[in-house]
Amino acid sequence: MDEPQRTEIEAAAFRRLVAHLRERSDVQNIDLMNLAGFCRNCLSRWYREAAAERGLDLSDPAAREIIYGMPYEAWRAAHQTPATEAQQTRFAAAREVP
């Protein structure tokens, strides 16, 4: 596999991941953080940082809209539920330094 093919395949996999996360709005960001160590917001930050590395200015809201498929506040209003005490405890425990 040459570099352009690799880039094309990685881009396709990324687009599929984003589409999957849009379809699975029932999966909360805190669940993603607790299980995988990243969430939609992390993905949007990585997207913005990759754009910046290439000299492109992309705001946080614009990057989040690319990942969420809608403005972040609209997604939160439509899909985000309050984190449970168990989710918050697990999140805090994962952030503790050993």
CATH of the domain at 48: 1.10.3340.10
Summarize pLDDT for 3-37 with one digit per residue, the tens: 999 999 999 999 999 999 999 999 999 999 999 99
The whole-number pLDDT of residue 22 equals 96
Domain range for 49:
3-95
Number of domains in the chain: 1
The DSSP-derived string for 14-57 is HHHHHHHHHHTTTS-HHHHHHHHS--HHHHHHHHHHHHHHTT--
Q: What is the pLDDT of residue 98?
A: 65
Q: Please give the angle made by the CA atoms of 26, 66 and 50, to the nearest 5 degrees.
A: 120
Q: What is the pLDDT of residues 43-97, one digit of tens each?
A: 999 999 999 999 999 999 999 999 999 999 999 999 999 999 999 999 998 877 6
Q: What is the pTM of this model?
A: 0.88
